A and B are shown apart, each in its own frame.
Chain A
Amino acid sequence: MTSMQRVLTTLAHQEPDRVPLFLLTTLHGARELGLSIRDYFSRSEHVVEGQMRLLSKYRSDCLYAFYYAALEVEAFGGETLFIDDGPPNTGMPILRRSEDIDRLEPPRVAETSCLCRVLETIRRLKERVGDTVPIIGAAISPFSLPIMQMGFDRYLELIYEQPQRFDRLMAINQTFCVDWANAQLAAGATAVGYFDPMASSTIIPRDLYLKTGHRVAMETLARINGPTATHLASGRGLGIVDDIAATKTAAIGVSALEDLAEWKTATRGRLTLLGNLNGVTMRHWTATLAESEVRGAIAKAGRGGGFILADNHGEIPWQVPEDVLLAIRDVVDRWGCYPLDWVE
């Protein structure tokens, strides 16, 4: 099977030849090319080359066109702060006062250079792999983006205290998110990661989510012209499984803080699970630990398809060494072949 066939089969809740592995490396591409992280992300050619090298090294079942979350705030006029040993972060909030929301306009995707760089990356990757390897794009949900647009504390206050302004901000971000996700699909992305950790029960209670982010996700995902994978970026989600399924998203990223077996029971046949290896501890995994972690995840969620092995956050930290990634690959090759007879 090609990676594409493997992934489509599991998304259809059937068993492919082997458990698909999404080794979601972004920054590691810079290391492959011997570039600083800042330089690496400054040109689409770099990211294309980086992703292709990572693909041949680790034989992950996807290419990942995600640059970094701060990019979307950059599109709104924000600043991105780079460091040498990790993903960049967004600088000062672009919305300093809540009144700034009244004048905010969504950026135009085609006219925003940082976004065009990502689209160019997707187009070139598509030229390289055609329909053999899925290309995964990414968009921050309209509901989660304001954490970076205005700062987390002021955003929480906005939600509780200024419902009208909140609605206006959601409308702007929705326009942007839909355009951005659809542009990635048009450029050749197979699916788009809808990053929505604000929805997570780690961050807001379910009743509030239903009145806010859930409504936003229902509307937004309905306007995205392709499959999405909702990702809570390692926030908890077991309490909102049915709500997430109702958004008709195809897959969901599961936190290492939750039990994959519980998720499997709660979602079987409805949502493909993506997860849930702990990227933060992965840094010092031995080959033995990699084996037990990977086997553990496969045992809990592999049967019946509807499962893609991945880290729990949607990005593997820069500090995770090559050996560990190769060890993960190796365990999947040895233990990930269906029908998974070894699973009790």
Chain B
Amino acid sequence: MDEFSSELYEALVSLDRLRAETLFQQAIGHKPPMQVIEELIVPALEQLGEKWNAGQIALSQIYMSSRICEDMVERVLPSMASGRKGHRHLAIVVLSDYHLLGKRIVLSVMRASGFDIFDYGRMDVDELVERVLADEVKILLISVLMLPAALKVKELRSALDAKGSRVRIAVGGAPFLFDPDLWREVGADAMGRTAADAVAIVHRWMEEMA
């Protein structure tokens, strides 16, 4: 991580919005937005994710700082702007569960990293299958908090397979952190431990699919 993004990281961990804004504005002054996102924001968000995963910072810091980044980026690169990545092929959902915070954080981090992404809110399996097919989603991010909801991914996978969908599924949320093999068991294609992992997974898949 370079000096600027570690400065941004520091500003974000201490929730110093003013300092974060200043750093971002300075960078935007002499580089195109997407480059600033990739060089400044994404590494700082990755760092936040790593520290949380290691138990060194807390979720409240992740949430508040992902919102700060999302706000800053939305202002220079509004949703659906032409420079955004992933438009039309990427969706996120809370499956079966009623816990929306995990998805909210991943969404903020994805948007702050320059992606456009469909927000499906909360859905059950049948409704989700229909939407994925109708929207021709290529990459689906699923967040859950409860174990029964995590196990529903399996049902979703077979329903999608039966309809011939080739969508790639990345999952995340507490049950997957407690059981590191659960994502394979339910037939997901990847699992992310942090919201920043979602960015890395989607980048990788988009390259593979290109």
Contacts and interface: CB of A to CB of B under 8 A. Distances in A.
B29 interface: no
A234 interface: yes
A90 B178 contact: no
B64 to A, nearest CB: 6
A75 B146 CA distance: 22
A202 interface: yes
User: 10 shortest A-B CB distances, which residue pairs?
Assistant: A86-B148, A280-B178, A152-B101, A204-B60, A280-B179, A205-B58, A281-B179, A204-B58, A203-B59, A85-B148
Interface stretch (A153-161, A178-186, A296-304): A153-161
Contacts of B177: 257
Interface of A: 81, 83, 85-87, 89-91, 151-153, 156-157, 159-160, 201-205, 208, 234, 236, 238-239, 256-258, 278-281, 283, 317-319
7 contacts: A85-B148, A151-B100, A159-B60, A203-B60, A204-B58, A256-B178, A280-B179
A contacts with B: majority SS: loop
Contact of B58 (A85, A152, A202): A202
B136 to A, nearest CB: 30
Given A83-B148, A86-B147, A153-B104, A281 B178 contact: yes
Contacts of A91: 98
Interface string B167-197: 0000000010111001000000000000000
Contacts of A151: 100-101
Contacts of B182: 280
A315 to B, nearest CB: 11
B125 interface: no
Nearest to A92: B98
B62 to A, nearest CB: 10
Interface string B93-114: 0000111110010000000000
Contact of B101 (A90, A153, A318): A153
A73 to B, nearest CB: 12
Contacts of B64: 156-157, 160
Contacts of B61: 205
B179 A89 contact: no
B55 interface: yes
Interface in B38-87: 55, 57-61, 63-64
Given A204-B60, A318-B148, A234 B178 contact: yes
B15 interface: yes
A281 B100 CA distance: 24
Contacts of A318: 148
Contacts of A317: 147
Contacts of B100: 151-153
Contacts of B99: 89, 152
A281 B99 CA distance: 21
Contact of B98 (A90, A256, A278): A90
Interface string B125-143: 0000000000000000000
A38 to B, nearest CB: 14
B151 interface: yes
A205 B57 contact: yes
B103 to A, nearest CB: 10
A62 B177 CA distance: 29
B58 to A, nearest CB: 5
A204 B59 CA distance: 6
